[in-house]
Amino acid sequence: MGAVKLTRESILDGTLHASVRAVLGPEVRFMTDAERAVQVEAILARAPRPGRVWVFAFGSLIWNPAFNFVERRTARIHGFHRQFCLWARAGRGSPERPGLMLSLESRGSCTGVAYRLARHAVVSELDVLWRREMFTMAYRPVWTTARTSKGTEPAIAFSANREHERYVPGLEDGALVRYLATGTGPLGRCCDYLFDTVEHLRRLGIRDRRLEALEAKVRAHHAAL
């Protein structure tokens, strides 16, 4: 496994979605083009500051956004925290070796990266983002406030869809470490998703003690094997 790269090209040409369907089977439900267009239109209709759209990144969007942007800032949001609470049975996992993906859960705060989209390209770039993040509908897009060194900005963030079958709340550390350490799929190993996220947060001067503790435990798990 690990033959598929998550890029703008693989998102737009259907390679990413095809890799997921190959693992999960043809019956897997994907968001349609019409549904995606409706959601993008709906989120923009609720924009706090029309024409000024930022996207908040808490996981792989930090180090591999795949959409175009015109400005990037470190940012903090309140009311959500970063949590491994979504099954990855494709992508960074498989039915035989499932992994876990990050999402935003209610309460607390989260520091990550905010990207500003060009005004003329908001719809096209959100289309790319929706194709990437929302095709299985495991996230719930919300507007939040990103606090940056240059002020506050309205930002779209992706919180967990608690009604989705991939939602798995409350896993204990032992289970988290096991799935993070062993999950693998068409996009590669789940542990590398964790390691890359922690590394890029560190490069930005962001310390996530919870993720760093999980990283240490996953590396220890690998060493023990």
How far apart CA 8 and CA 211 sit, in angstroms, is 27
Residues serving a catalytic function are: 133
> CB within 8 A of 66, min separation 6: which ones?
6, 7, 8, 11, 128, 132
Closest CA to 133 of 40, 211, 213, 198: 40
Could you tell me where the beta strands, DSSP code E, fall in 19-98? 54-57, 71-88
